[in-house]
Structure 1
Amino acid sequence: METTTSADGTVIAFDQIGEGPPVVIVGGAFSTAADGGALAAALVEVGFRAVTLDRRGRGASGDKRGSTPEDEADDVAAVIAAIGGDAFVLGHSSGAILALFAASRGASIRALFLSEPPFHFDIGDPEPPLADRLQRLVDEGQSDEAVVTFQLEGVGLPREMVESIRQSAMFAGLVAIAQSTVYDARLAAELSTPTPEMLAVSQQVTILRGAQTFPILITAADRLAEEMDGAELVIVPESVMHRLDPTATARIMRRARPDREDHPRPA
């Protein structure tokens, strides 16, 4: 993996494959660069250069306790700068919130693709302060409980599903990046509703969601599209229950032709 250094000195690791216009993939909760591999491959197939990153506190990236959404936005900007200083960004789930926030803070993003951003618009937010409670659990050596608590309260998964995950082989990998739940919880809490600056970004914005997904995500995507002038809402039938379909998503991105010279670029 390649690395770059974010504004606060944190090392951020990323991979890039293919040639053509770069697309930075920003994953959601518990995701690492490796989890973006299938989407990266699909993007390469349609002519993009795909960049996957480990958000701070995950995989090969570094970490700094007390990290903020602003720090994570700086991480995205640092990766974009490292790969040439100008890129399209595809964010999924909390990664979509982060991508939009990074754009609002001036990251050099040519166009945004936001896949099922879990904005709550201040309705049904987790009991505060979830991020602080998660940090205490991690600090007390209860990373497994931090993961479970985040899944129940931050994501809203049914308890039966969470218990099933806890018994699965994947659980150990989630526990290893439990610190990242603090950052995702803080991001979701502080940006439950997109800021005026986020709603007013100058970039082309395409909002993606499945036809069959969680009701809160349907509400969030549809409302965001309504509140952002010029944003396009695209329903992706192949993406089911918050699982982004790589092939369909890549096809939509290519059809949108975000590499056209007439699309807005950051000032």
Structure 2
Amino acid sequence: MDLRLLGNVEIESGGSIFAPTRSAERCVLATLAFNAGRPVRVDTLTDNIWGDWPPPKADETVATHVRAVRRLLAQAGGDRQLIRNHRPRAYALHIDPSWVDYHRFRLGVADAASLGGVSAAAAGYERALGLWRGEPLEGVAGDWADARRQAMRTEQLNAVCALLDLRLQLGEYAVVAAQARQLAHDFPTERVLVLAMRGLASAGHQALIPEFVAQASERMWQTANVRPGAEIVALGRRLASGSMPVTVERPASGSAPVSGVQMTATHNGMVWQSVGDQIITEG
């Protein structure tokens, strides 16, 4: 049985898909899956489903949704008692976290980051990212789902950037340039800009950098009301002019790859700020 949060909230079992019919039921399943093996208070489920506007007799309504999720687990070949009542006023989904794709993704990312070889680490990130099927928590409405969805996307984007850093080290410059430029349309952040510029410069396409930076800057303004910092703009100019040598530093054997990414929220948009430059050095 596979509980899926990295796309539609659903259960896959024996090649069949079992999906809750209501947003509230999807929210209950997702909340319990995030906290696999740990009790979740009824108040938490109420907040996650309705936020500041719970209905009358919210506890009874939550219990109704929990019963629906229990039936779904049984239809998928599981046991209704996988969801147990806990005191005071709590439920817990008693499964191994490895049954949940989101937990497998996080474990896969942690394992990839701990691997010493660049190729092995890249393969690890690819496996972890391959678990994503679309927008996380698809079909779950509400402020909690929106906030959690954004946090999950941040984790995904960090993993993507870590993988692109490794691909630069492997000499896959054209691949990095293409993927980072495409990523920059939806997530025009400083970190993505740097990756795209590195890829373009290393692949010999310096002439494309000025136009890319201008377009990405405009997208950044539209989505986050910020512009690339002066250091990023200056880096683009140096790479475009060819005055800055691009050196790919391969980590020493046994060392863990470093993604060098820090995520912050600005004006309801995500701004990725480089906290280190492990690949390009200035001569």
Q: Into which bin does the TM-score normalised by the smaller protein fall?
A: under 0.3
TM-score by length of 2: 0.24
Larger Rg belongs to: 2
Relative contact order (C-alpha < 8 Å, sep 6+): which is higher? 1
- Structure with higher helix content: 2
- Structure with higher strand content: 1
